[in-house]
Amino acid sequence: MAASTSIRIDQKLYEQARQDAIAEHRTIAGQVEFWARVGRAALDNPDLPVSFIAESLVSMAEPREQAMPFVPRSAGQ
């Protein structure tokens, strides 16, 4: 099990995390951690759209057996 640390955050941010966590099937802590990973990756890669970063992190967290193979659009035409 990973170590954890308690932090204080603004109540409004906590409520936003709670709402998003419900929608994304995460814990509140998991939602805040996801936001932190997206933010860190966005700062490290300012040329990439944040939506691309977020979607990439979500796809990397999926179990490999649930992954769908990439099919270029030109291959389906």
Establish if 31 belongs to a structural domain: yes
pTM for the whole structure: 0.73
pLDDT at residue 2 in the model: 74
| Beta strands, E only, 1-77 | none
Establish if 72 belongs to a structural domain: no
- Integer distance in angstroms from the first to the last C-alpha of the chain? 47
Establish if 6 belongs to a structural domain: no
Could you read off the pLDDT of 20-76 as tens digits, one per residue? 999 999 999 999 999 999 999 999 999 999 999 999 998 888 777 877 777 888 865
pLDDT at residue 1 in the model: 64
Q: How confident is the model at residue 17 (pLDDT cuts 50, 70, 90)?
A: very high
Full domain range(s) for residue 27: 11-61
pLDDT at residue 62 in the model: 74
Establish if 5 belongs to a structural domain: no
Instruction: Count structural domains, the chain.
Output: 1
Establish if 68 belongs to a structural domain: no
